[in-house]
Amino acid sequence: MAFTTESVASIVGQKGEPVESSWTSKDALLYALAVGASQDAPFDELEFTTENGPKPQLVVPSFICVAAKGGKIPGLEIDLRKLLHGGQSFELFGELKPDGRVRTVGTVDSIYDKGSAAVVNTSSEIYDADTGELLAKTGGAMFLRGEGGWGGERGEDEPWAQPEREPDETVVYTTRTDQALLYRLTGDRNPLHSNPEFAKLAGFERPILHGMCTYGFTVRALLHAVAGGDPNRFGRFSARFSKTVTPGDTLTVSIWKTEGGALFQTAKQTGDVVIDRGVLTLR
C-alpha cells in the first residue's frame, strides 16, 4: 500500500478484533523440529521433540510467536512481495503448555518512513482463553520495501552495543537445505520461502529462510546456554533481523552474559550478522 501522512495517522493505534487460537502437543513438537531441535543430536532435546520421553514435554519459548494468531488490522494492506520481517520480540508471564488456547489482541504501534522503505511496528497482548490471565506479549516490525518516502518520522533505535570482549558462549547450528519447507508447516506459507519464481520476483536468487526460523534457532541457543534448558526462565527476548539466510547456511550465535540475562548476535558462515541487537531478560 502507498502510505501518506493521513493514512498513517488513521492506522496507528488501530486494534484488530480479538482472535482466539489454540494449539496441541503436536503443534509444539513440530515447531521444535522446525527450528532445529534434536537435528544434530536426536536424543539431546527429547523434552521438546517428544511427548512420551524420559521427561515431560516442554515448549520452545518462541513458539508463542506463531501459536497466537493475530487479527487483521483495519486499513493495513501488505504486499507479500515487498515484506521482510524487520524484528521480533516476545515476553512471557506464565508457563507455555504443550496444549493451549489463547485470545490475542493486536495493535499498530507506529509506522516510520525510512526513505526507501516503511517500517510498521505492531504489538499483541495474549491472554489465556480460559482464565483471562495475560500469558504473553509479542512485538513485530515489518520492513516494507519501496513503501517509504511520504515525509514521515524516521523513528529511533533503542540503545544497544556489542560488549568489548569475547563472547561468553558460542553456539553453532547448521540449517537444513529443506529447512524452509519444514518451517512453513508451522503457519507461515509466504511463497518467498518456497517458490523460486516468486522469490525472483521479490529480488532474491532463490527462496530464503524465514526470519522467524533463524530466530527460533537463536532462541534455542540462548535457552540452553543461558537458561539451562528451562523455558520458564525466559522473560523478554528481542532481536532485529539484519540480513537474509538461505536454507543450508550455518548459524553462529555469539552470547555475552549479563546480570539479568544476555546480549547476543547471530551470524552466518560469511560472517554477515543476520540477527542483531539481541537482548534476553530472564525471569
Nearest C-alpha neighbor of 252 from the set 178, 164, 187, 175: 175
To the query of whether residue 224 is one of the catalytic residues in this protein, the response is no
Alpha carbon 225 to its chain centroid, in Å, reads 19
Residues 6+ apart with CB under 8 A from 181: 194, 247
Catalytic-role residue among 99, 188, 224, 276: 188
- Give the DSSP H/E element, type plus range, for residue 125: strand 117-128
Query: Could you give the 3-state DSSP secondary structure of residue 52?
Result: coil
188 is catalytic: yes
d(CA 7, CA 258): 42
Q: Which of 193, 210, 224, 230 is catalytic?
A: 193
Q: How far apart are CA 117 and CA 88, in angstroms?
A: 18
Per-residue CA distances from 263 to 227, 253, 273 (Å): 13, 10, 14
Q: Look-up: residue for cell 532481536?
A: 239
Q: Which residues contact 218 (CB under 8 A, 6 or more apart)?
A: 239, 251, 253, 264, 266, 275, 278
Number of C-beta neighbours around residue 133 at 10 A = 9
The residues carrying an active-site annotation are: 188, 193
